[in-house]
Amino acid sequence: MKYQIQIPGKTFCFGEYAALVGGSALLITTEPGFEISFMETAERQVNPFHPRSPAGYFFEQNIDFFSQWRLFFKDNYSGRGGFGASTAQFAGLSLFKRHIETQLPANQLLKAVFQDYQQTNLNLNPELPSIQQPSGYDLQAQCHGGGLILVTKHQRELCSQEMDWPFPEHGFMIVPTGFKVATHTHLEALKGDLLHGLVDASKDLTRVWKNAKYGLFHDELVKWRGHLTSLNLVHPRTLELVRLLSEFPEVSLVKGCGALGADILFLVFMHRDQEKVRTILSEMHLNEAYDRHDLWKKEIQVQVTI
């Protein structure tokens, strides 16, 4: 018998640093995502992940359980980074273990996976302050699925709400840059007192997003991009890409996403300009792009196949 879990890729539209200090964030979950599967075996298995990664540490801490399962992990983004492979690995391990051992209902299962994630990261780096620990917003969104996920924090709990793209005249693209910054290393160097001003900015973005007025959303997201730039939280390479793309009238908005905005570009444009935007990206050797047709629409669950 084979157990399989499909998990979406994720991109922070906004809130990527505010999440570390309890702000709001909008994440976009997309296909093709990741797949993790388990087959029971009599041959004792070894840890397939780096032992200092959350997934690798969780595997080692539960070695008696996982050593009985042959594990396969498939990254449908070909390992190019930025879509949450590390989080997907952890989510798959925790979700599977909880499913086999507890049979919790779906709403409690997600909370349990998040608790596993928090505890694992604390155990991995007990000396790091909370500001330098992963926020868990990406895990929340990837386990929720649903395309566009607004994640907010109330006290110590994360809440996720599925949203619709609210701008009928505009489309978006998520474009991998092929460049990667090691998120865990970057987080360890962050100074938390610099980020608290982003909480209010993330609330403003959430408000205009819900109001579905593109002009206001555009202006607030440009402000957000400026806040990150002023805090030296945008990689020089991304700044140059943003500058170049902003010169094209067909590109209404562009910002970097992920650690230092390095991994992914988020673009907004009028629907009528979509093909022109794809041509512009191709001429810049940015040939991979995901749009609204790639939004994730599957429930995240453990599937059993023969």
What pLDDT is recorded for position 180? 78
Mean pLDDT lowest among 32-36, 130-134, 199-203, 234-238: 130-134
- Greatest mean pLDDT among 79-83, 192-196, 275-279: 275-279
What pLDDT is recorded for position 209? 95
The domain total for the chain is 2
Q: How far apart are CA 266 and CA 292, in angstroms?
A: 12
- Percentage of the chain modeled with pLDDT above 70: 97
What pLDDT is recorded for position 184? 66
* pLDDT exceeds 90 at position 125: no
**Domain CATH code at residue 285:** 3.30.70.890
What pLDDT is recorded for position 138? 94
Q: Domain check: are 118 and 178 in the same one?
A: no
Give the model confidence (pLDDT) of 216-236 as tens digits: 999 999 999 999 999 999 999
Q: Please tell me whether the peptide bond between 134 and the residue prior to it is cis, using omega within 30 degrees of 0.
A: no
* pLDDT exceeds 80 at position 263: yes
Q: Domain check: are 187 and 237 in the same one?
A: yes
* pLDDT exceeds 70 at position 47: yes
* pLDDT exceeds 70 at position 259: yes
Q: Domain check: are 184 and 155 in the same one?
A: no
- Percentage of the chain modeled with pLDDT above 90: 75
Give the model confidence (pLDDT) of 197-215 as tens digits: 899 999 999 999 999 999 9
DSSP 201-218: HHHHHHHHHHHT-HHHHH
Mean of per-residue pLDDT scores for the chain:
91
What pLDDT is recorded for position 306? 59
Give the model confidence (pLDDT) of 156-190 as tens digits: 788 899 999 999 999 999 999 988 777 666 776 67
Q: Domain check: are 148 and 13 in the same one?
A: yes
Alpha helices in the chain (DSSP H): 54-61, 63-66, 85-102, 106-124, 137-144, 183-188, 197-211, 214-230, 236-246, 274-283
* pLDDT exceeds 80 at position 137: yes
Residue 290: which pLDDT band, with cuts at 50, 70 and 90?
Answer: very high
What pLDDT is recorded for position 155? 74
| Residue given tokens 């806040």 in the structure block | 227
Residue 34: which pLDDT band, with cuts at 50, 70 and 90?
Answer: very high
Q: Domain check: are 179 and 133 in the same one?
A: no
Q: Domain check: are 62 and 120 in the same one?
A: yes
Taking alpha carbons only, the member of 49, 125, 129 closest to residue 91 is: 49
Q: Domain check: are 151 and 27 in the same one?
A: yes
Q: What are phi and psi of 158, to 5 degrees?
A: -95, 140
Give the model confidence (pLDDT) of 65-108 as tens digits: 999 999 999 999 988 888 999 999 999 999 999 999 987 877 78
* pLDDT exceeds 80 at position 294: yes
Mean of pLDDT values over 259-263: 91
Q: Domain check: are 152 and 272 in the same one?
A: no
Q: Domain check: are 289 and 301 in the same one?
A: no
Q: Domain check: are 177 and 206 in the same one?
A: yes
SS3 category, 263: coil
Q: Is the dihedral of CA 227, 230, 236, 240 positive or negative?
A: positive
SS3 category, 99: helix
Q: Domain check: are 128 and 176 in the same one?
A: no
Q: Are 30 and 283 in contact (CB under 8 A)?
A: no
Taking alpha carbons only, the member of 76, 75, 72, 97 closest to residue 86 is: 75
**Domain CATH code at residue 69:** 3.30.230.10
Q: Domain check: are 160 and 14 in the same one?
A: yes
Which residues constitute the domain of residue 290?
170-294
